[in-house]
Amino acid sequence: MKQEKRIMEMEAMYDRVVKFYEEARILCDQMDATRQELNQLQSYYETDWMQDFRADEEGLLDPTMKRGILTEDALYNLFYEMYELKADFLSHFRKVE
């Protein structure tokens, strides 16, 4: 009976790990799909963002338009979170043997 219990426990672990890696693969595919958008956001932040921010501050933009991207920290925080996520992924995967 002890052997059967061990096999059942290992089977359950295997199922959890397989499910995790299947979900991780989907996430990686989604990250690949959004990488170009992230690059465009970085380019926007480095070029036109300040001009758009100032126009908003001066009341030149439609006040009903969604413009959360023009908050001072939105893009910066996104880039920082992506940096942290990348570091976390690398740290976790370095531990996998």
Q: Decide: 40 and 69 in contact? Cβ < 8 Å.
A: no
In this prediction, residue 33 carries a pLDDT of 84
Q: Token pair for residue 81?
A: 């979170």
In this prediction, residue 42 carries a pLDDT of 94
Q: Is 59 left (phi over 0), alpha (psi -120 to 50) or beta?
A: left
Residues of the chain with pLDDT under 70: none
How do residues 21-39 score in pLDDT, each as one tens digit? 999 899 888 988 888 899 9
Backbone angles phi, psi at 94, to 5 degrees: -65, -25
User: How many beta carbons lie within 10 A of that of residue 69, not counting itself?
Assistant: 15
Could you tell me the pTM of the whole model? 0.69
| Separation between Cα atoms, residue 28 and residue 21, nearest integer Å | 10
In this prediction, residue 13 carries a pLDDT of 97
In this prediction, residue 90 carries a pLDDT of 86
